[in-house]
Amino acid sequence: MLLAIDVGNTNTTLGVFDGQRLLAHWRIQTRPERTSDEYTVLLAELFSFRHVEREAIHHACLSCVVPPVQNPVVEALVEYLNLNPLVISPGVRTGMPLLLDNPKEAGADRIANAVAAYETAKKSCIVVDFGTATTFDMVSDQGEYLGGAIAPGIQLSADALFTAAAKLPRVSLLRPRHAIGRNTEESMQAGLVFGYVGLVDGIVERMMREREAPDCRVFATGGQARLLVGASRFVRDVDEFLTLQGLRILYRRNRA
Tell me which residues are annotated as active site.
109
Beta bridge partners of 130: 134, 222
Rounded alpha-carbon distances, angstroms, from residue 87 to 16, 65, 100, 146, 243? 16, 11, 21, 22, 14
**If you write DSSP's letter for every residue of 197-210 in order, what string do you get?**
HHHHHHHHHHHHHH
Alpha-carbon distance of 83 to 123, in angstroms, equals: 35
Kindly report the number of other CB atoms within 10 A of residue 255's CB atom: 11
3-state class percentages of the chain: helix first, strand second, coil last, to nearest 5:
40, 25, 35
Cα(96)–Cα(145) distance, integer angstroms: 7
Backbone angles phi, psi at 21, to 5 degrees: -90, 130
One-letter identity of residue 214: P
For residue 115, which amino acid is it? V
CB 195 within 8 A of CB 189: no
Task: Assess contact for 44 and 58: CB atoms under 8 A.
Answer: no
- Specify the length of the chain in residues: 256
